[in-house]
Chains A and B, each alone.
Chain A
Amino acid sequence: MNLKDISTSVPKKDHKGKVSGQLPYISDVKVENMVYGVLYRSPIAYGKIISIQLPNLPDGYEAVGAEHIPGPNYVKIIKEDQPIFANEWVNYIGEPILMLTGKDLDILYSLLNEVKVEFEEHQAIYTLDEAIKQKSVSLVLASYEFGESLENISAIEQGAHQIIEEEYDTGYQEHVYLEPQGMLAVYKDDEIVVQGSMQCLYYIKNALLSALACGDDEVRVVQSPTGGGFGGKEDYPSMMACHVAVAARAVKKSVMLVFDRSEDMLVTTKRHPAKLKYRTALDKEGNILSMYVDIFLDGGANVGLSSVVLQRALLNSAGVYKIPHFHAKGYVLKTNTVPNGAFRGFGAPQSFAGIESHIGHLSKLAKIDPLAYKRKYLVKQGDPTITKGKFRDPILVEEMIEDVLNVSEYKKKKEDFQRLNQQNQRYKKGIGTSLFLHGCGFTGSGERDHIKAKVKLVKSKDDQVSLKISNSDMGQGILTTLCKIVAKELNLPFEDILYPYPDTKEVPDSGPTVASRTTMIVGKLLERAAKKLKNQWQTGVEQEVVEHYVHREMIPWDEKTFTGDAYPAYSWGVNIVEVEVDTLTGNLKLEKVYGNYEVGKVIDERIMKGQIDGGLAQGLAYGYLEKMTSKQGRIQQKSISDYGPPTSLDIVSIESKVFDNPYADGPYGAKGAGELTLIGGAPAVQAAIEDALHTSFQQIPITPEVIIESLWMKEGEEG
């Protein structure tokens, strides 16, 4: 492949199959001797199962439950707290208790209505606020604390001119990947093959080895084309895989489990609702002297990945700023609601929404333009991180800000909007900014201690090279970008590099497809493997090379003290958003959106543009459009129209630019990009609304109802 610049776009590997609709997703697959599975789910939020009564099952219909699990009854993720089939206690509405299997879905659903389970109901905890009020240690699923000593912080506070306290709330966010979750276990006498929509093949394989208590060669996991993930297919598919595999073993048939949209929305993981508290000491001029941050995440009923999500939330709690004296503490609290899990950004979107909001409000007190105030505190190369790590690489944020200010005509618009808003009583325009970063790859020593990624390249006799890795293309384009890296390194035509959908029988564990790690970590390993293969190249001969992850030691990460380098590298972004608010209805119209990003080196410009536009659309909508709530433990939005993700009419064209800043340990200099693009959306929307209405918000999403309420409050205050 003779690309002068790796960033030059090439046609995507999977374009033909997708555009024609002929690439089979899991729900398009039918195998011989296949039955469907449907799940009986807990109708109560918290209680004990007293008895289970099954209806008479017709021939070919069977029930599968906890008693059929050969291994321990939990989905192996991090902690052993999530049952595959609940058989003693249920902890949330929708928790699976048993599965019915059979040929006909209509019959299965009517049988499901006849299952009778008797419960002893207990008092549940439904909301994060209730859980916080309880102050009970038994509700703490995870917690961390770090930073400067509290004695120092309170000494500074005592000498301060003013102490500002703010509380900030963020809501659920639902992934709404267009393809609902689906998993199939193909039954064979000596092997169960689980295939479906997924991000993490070896997470699933390890969960299956535990649940089935079987040997390594008795289970196999194969990724199907995956219709969007965004984190929603990181942890949840492990549970579905256990369901279908246990059922297949029990009924000796292949078992398919596919959710419809409402089941998917009601029971799968979501972005953690959060409460963030800020206490900041200021001097007379409004300069920050110290900051104390408390973060509470609603974990839902099981810890799942929540402890890791909390880590990232805390690591981002000071945003892109160097705060003189900083202390932070965070908790994941248990509630009797659907377990929350991974979602693009993984704790960072909550933290950035909170800190950008808080710093914006501090700038108003200091009577300085928000962006000017933020720039005073911007971290620079060589600065320590809040965990006593170091920002090692050049930081281009100043340059990126200058550029986007010019492109957007920020200063002129600020003035124009003020004038326009004075003339127009009903429609108010505003402009807002956000500054953000994303730590690339796993937090701390995750890559070195837990993942230990391994990649393989296999060359055939006809000199085609196949990528043998366990990473999933879920739409983000790695089938194309990773092949490009290998093709360029080997100087082979792009078409001669193959990347079949991964199968654990064929591929080593190169780690999960999460944490903006795939391009940077796996891509780098592939680049090294390709170099190695090139050195040994023998035309017409079968060859194989393997590469293992090598950790570059920096300041070692210590999870207990929460100190050291949390990430090997950071990607950066700046957003500017312009809105128009209808003060009569509270409706918001996006008018212009700008984004400047730095992700090391882009592997494919067109794919990067897709990540920017798609991530930003999700991030913007998180700030004002997408609202999910739960009432008495029950999710209230069970359809796409109830929830309201953006349509083509909500989004406007996005003017974006990517800055080169090659990173030594990434392939061709690339760092992570996928999550970064979401993070700046919500805070920039909030800042723009605040600019339009001259008011402050302490929550997202800022829906029309929230806007109207705040306008009433303001009217009341102004008399």
Chain B
Amino acid sequence: MIKFTLNGRTVETDAPATARLLDLLRDEFELIGTKEGCGEGECGACSVFVNNLLQNSCLIPIGSIAGADIQTIEGIIETEQFKILDESYSIAGGVQCGYCIPGMIMASAALLSENPHPSEAEIREGISGNLCRCTGYNMIVEAINLAAKKGDGL
């Protein structure tokens, strides 16, 4: 039995310690916002926060998260920061097929929490672990830049 905090709630699971956190979130807890794009930590579509750090959930065996604080996109939807990112992505046109977007939002949130006013180069660096095949990234970079201005420290 592994016990951890998921989006602010204490939960437990009987899944084997070698199971991937990604599968646990999607199958057992039905949190579909965490997507699988590659299964090898390359694309970032499965990004979550583990103890407030951005991680690829496809690379995490659940044995390693006992007692940890896990947050998925569903866990941040109510935050002020998400609302600003949501609006900024809409204005900048950062969303096309949408499959990379929850992971991209998580990466954006992680970046802005650590560095509220990033330069363009810092934004590119901050999302470099998240692949997007539709946008060519520029409108996502613009969205984060916009969110940084609007959020001003959020």
Measured CA separation A9–B40 after assembly (Å):
37
B135 with A613: CB separation less than 8 A: yes
Q: Does A12 contact B (CB under 8 A)?
A: yes
Contact B135 A614 (CB under 8 A): yes
| A-B interface contact total, Cβ < 8 Å | 169
Is B53 close to A, CB under 8 A? no
Query: Shortest distance in angstroms between B51's beta carbon and chain A's nearest beta carbon?
Result: 21
Complex CA distance for A228 and B96, rounded to whole angstroms: 8
| Surface stretch bound by B, among A14-22, A116-124, A248-256 | A14-22
In contact, B98 and A9 (Cβ under 8 angstroms):
no
A178: chain B residues within 8 A (beta carbon): 35, 37, 43, 45, 97, 99-100, 131-134
Q: Which of A73-81, A152-160, A325-333, A637-645 contacts B (4 or more CB under 8 A)?
A: A637-645
Q: How distant is the Cα of A141 from the Cα of B135 in the complex, in angstroms?
A: 35
Q: Which residue of A lies closest to B103 (CB)?
A: A21
For B32, give its contact among A22, A646, A651 (CB under 8 Å).
A22
* Contact-residue size bin, chain A (C-beta under 8 Å from the other chain): 35 or more
A610 and B38 in contact (CB under 8 A), knowing A19-B90, A21-B101, A475-B97? no
Interface string of A6-47 (1 = CB under 8 A from B): 000101101111111111110110000000000000000000
Q: Are A179 and B35 neighbours in the complex by a CB distance under 8 Å? A: yes
Q: Which residues of B contact A384 (CB under 8 A)?
A: none
Contact A614 to B105, CB < 8 A, known contacts A21-B35, A178-B45, A641-B42: no
Interface 1/0 per residue, A495-519 and B, CB below 8 Å:
0000000000000000000000000
Tell whether B95 is near chain A: CB-to-CB under 8 Å. yes
A266 CB to closest chain B CB, in angstroms?
13
* Contact in complex: A475, B96 (CB < 8 Å): yes
Contact pick for B35, options A25, A260, A610, CB 8 Å: A25
Say yes or no for B80: interface residue by CB 8 A criterion.
Answer: no
Instruction: Say yes or no: is A113 at the interface (Cβ < 8 Å to chain B).
Output: no
Set of chain A residues within 8 Å of B34, measured between Cβ atoms = 21
Residues A651 and B136 in contact, CB atoms below 8 Å apart: yes
In the assembled complex, A227 has its CB within 8 A of some CB on chain B: yes
The answer to whether B97 touches A19 (Cβ under 8 A) is no
Taking a contact as CB atoms under 8 Å apart, the answer to whether A15 and B90 are in contact is yes
Q: How far is the CB of A102 from chain B (nearest CB, A)?
A: 16
Task: Give A252 Cβ to nearest chain B Cβ, in Å.
Answer: 24
* Chain B residues within an 8 Å CB radius of A25: 35, 99
A476 to B74, CA, bound (A): 25
Residue among A9, A227, A615, A641 making CB contact with B93, cutoff 8 Å: A9
For chain B, the count of residues having a C-beta within 8 Å of the partner chain is 49
Interface residues of B in 26-68 (CB under 8 A from A): 26, 32-40, 42-43, 45
Shortest C-beta distance, A376 to chain B (Å), equals 32
Most A CB contacts (10 A, CB to CB) among B26, B120, B125, B134 go to B134
Closest to B73 in A: A21
Bound together, the chains give a CA A260 to CA B26 distance in angstroms of 15
Q: Which residues of B contact A16 (CB under 8 A)?
A: 86
Smallest CB separation, A220 vs chain B (Å): 24
Q: Are B128 and A639 in contact (CB under 8 A)?
A: no
Q: How far is the CA of A419 from the CA of B48 in the complex (A)?
A: 49
Inter-subunit contact B99/A227 (CB<8 Å): yes
Quick check: B97 and A227 within 8 Å, CB to CB?
Answer: yes
The 7 A-B residue pairs with the shortest CB-CB distance, nearest first, are: A21-B33, A475-B97, A18-B98, A227-B99, A617-B136, A21-B102, A475-B96
Beyond A20-B73, A613-B139, 6 additional pairs, beta carbon < 8 A: A28-B32, A178-B131, A228-B96, A618-B133, A639-B38, A645-B133
Q: Which residues of B contact A (CB under 8 A)?
A: 26, 32-40, 42-43, 45, 73-74, 77, 85-86, 89-90, 93, 95-102, 105, 120, 123-125, 127-141
A: residues with CB less than 8 A from B are 9, 11-12, 14-25, 27-28, 175-180, 225-230, 260-262, 474-477, 606-607, 609-610, 613-618, 639-641, 645-649, 651, 653-654
Could you jot down 30 A-B contacts, CB within 8 Å?
A: A15-B90, A19-B102, A23-B98, A175-B133, A177-B133, A178-B35, A178-B43, A178-B97, A180-B36, A226-B97, A227-B97, A227-B98, A260-B39, A477-B96, A609-B139, A610-B135, A614-B134, A615-B136, A617-B135, A639-B38, A639-B42, A640-B37, A640-B38, A640-B43, A646-B136, A646-B137, A648-B128, A648-B132, A649-B124, A651-B136
